[in-house]
Amino acid sequence: MSEELDISKFEKKIIVRNIRHSDIEDIIKLSTACFPNMDPWKRSHIMSHLEVFPEGQFCVEFDGEIIGSCSSLIINFDEYDDQHTWDEITDEGYITNHDDEGYNLYGIEVAVHPDFRRMKIGRRLYEARKELAREMNLKSMIIGGRIPNYRKYAAELTPRQYVDEVMSHNIYDPVLTFQVMNAFTLKRVNRNYLTDDHASMKYATLMEWNNVDYRPTTKRHFKTALPVRICAIQYMMKKINSFEEFAQQCEYYADVGASYTSDFVVFPEIFTTQLLSFMDEKSPSRAIRRLTEYTEEYINLFTDLAIKYNVNIIGGSHFVEEEGKIYNIAYLFRRDGTIEKQYKIHITPNERKFWGIHGGDKVEVFDTDCGKIAIQICYDIEFPELGRIATEKGANIIFTPFCTDERQGYLRVRYCAQARAVENQIYTMIAGTVGNLTHVENMDIQYAQSGIFTPSDFAFPRDGIVGECHPNIETVVVGDVDLELLRRQRKSGNVTQWRDRRKDLYKVNYDC
């Protein structure tokens, strides 16, 4: 009697799933194989896709090998010109213009390895996109489709005539024929769509699949305003006798911010050095290492305050020791109890000389219940590249805790924060320390005038200032910034600096 046949050895598993970070190199190789005469994806492109809209990135895995992939974003298609290009619709492939409140899923690439074509791999990817559109209740899926066989007919047919012939099944085109068979309808033909698509002579068909299950809902309405309230603490540095006294002052200000129903309460840079006022330590470098011993108490304190007062707190910044090195770190304490951190990237000569501080190497952008935000500690706001990177990653507000000892240093922070607001069309704010610590080496005097800043256009306050403190007194400034107004002004303001960047001439490369 023969043994039962083990059919498992004949199985070949094919899986459609979302792309993961571990797939990036395989996706780049796939892109190169599929489009040998075109620019493949860069690692930075795919990293951006996974950060901005991971749900819209799919791949097909066959026996452990990735043989197909597709990328998508959500847009409100009515906000784009009929004759848009691929670069415009994808922000040059980085999809940082993805709009969670949009109505349309836009497909920007489908790639199927040449060795695995005619296995319905493309159909599987399109079905995954359609299912995503249904799940997210989007009105339609739109694609700008290549017409790679057009080069063979360009001498005798116009692009529109060629498209008509393909749709009448008189000519076969590997992309357009496939899209027609997948229930897409033609909207128009776009010229100069993809500059390196020489096979299509730079033309593309704009195709649409309508989601018949789409249900208009009340959540999708035009917002007249999306306000976010910010409370900046201009914190007085003065001698204290214990950590409990420090905690009492911090809770007082958390309570103040909450009493104004603030969404964010922001403390200044290294204001925890106030703890040094009750330590008997004359050496600045040794004093800072002693200060790091309070890190856990500091984190527990602000985590509890954020939850207790139902407010997101940017806990200024604090010196933290990690693997023998001291870093200047700003923590975001969300009101749901979760925590994030941003390392100060650029270290001032004074920090390096007296305290031996090391710089971080990553620009973080954090999701909050009030949209995406970034934190740039003091000196970092003076480097415009960081503002560009944070905005490209979706930040609408940059918070800058700072600590400066005299007016020139303060003005560097202020002027640069206002410049970042103008050039990136975002909101910025600064929160600084005042007073003095006469008992602490290298932390004697403070100068600050905290404020909340906007872009400069008619829709915003006249001087680009939501509010500011009087200089050098202990107080707070509370103000509202409107994220919906910001979104509209980026699209149709008197000037549109963010949209009008000459990315064909210059760009910021960021490797992390």
Residue-wise pLDDT for 243-270, tens only, equals: 999 999 999 999 999 999 999 999 999 9
Strands, sheet with 204-210, edge to edge from the N-terminal-most edge strand: 14-18, 58-62, 65-75, 104-112, 140-146, 204-210, 185-190
Segment 232-242 mean pLDDT: 95
Active-site residue identified among 70, 139, 250, 269:
269
Which residue of the set 344, 403, 416, 469 is catalytic? 344
Q: Enumerate domains of the chain plus CATH numbers.
A: 12-210 (3.40.630.30), 227-492 (3.60.110.10)
In whole angstroms, give the CA distance from residue 14 to residue 61.
6
pLDDT at 464: 96
pLDDT-derived band at 337 (thresholds 50, 70, 90) equals very high
- Quick: pLDDT tens for 429-439: 999 999 988 87
Question: Is-contact 453 465, C-beta < 8 A?
Answer: yes
Task: Please give the Cα distance from 50 to 476 (Å, whole number).
Answer: 38
Residue 345 to residues 135, 360, 383, Cα–Cα distance (Å): 40, 4, 10
pLDDT, position 219: 47
Q: 34, 70, 231, 378: which is the annotated catalytic residue? A: 378
Q: What is the pLDDT of residue 329?
A: 97
Query: Tokens 């493309």, residue?
Result: 122
User: Which residue in 501, 504, 316 sits closest to 399, CA to CA?
Assistant: 316
Q: How far apart are CA 263 and CA 227, in angstroms?
A: 9
Beta-strand runs (E) in 261-388: 264-266, 312-314, 318-322, 325-333, 339-343, 357-358, 366-368, 371-375
From 2-16, 150-164, 480-494, the region with the lowest mean pLDDT: 2-16
**Does residue 344 carry a catalytic annotation?**
yes
In the annotation, is 223 catalytic? no
DSSP letters for 306-319? HHHTT-EEE---EE
In tens, the pLDDT along 119-177 reads 889 889 999 999 999 999 999 999 998 898 999 999 999 999 999 999 999 999 988 98
Of the listed ranges 40-44, 82-86, 135-139, 481-485, the one predicted with least confidence: 82-86
Examine the residue annotation and report whether 244 is marked as an active-site residue of this protein. Answer: no
Helix-strand-coil percent breakdown of the chain, rounded to 5?
A: 35, 25, 40
What pLDDT, on the 0 to 100 scale, is given for residue 282? 77
Considering only residues 39 and 299, tell me which one the structure prediction assigns the higher pLDDT.
299
**E strand segments, 356-489:** 357-358, 366-368, 371-375, 397-402, 427-435, 451-453, 465-468, 475-482
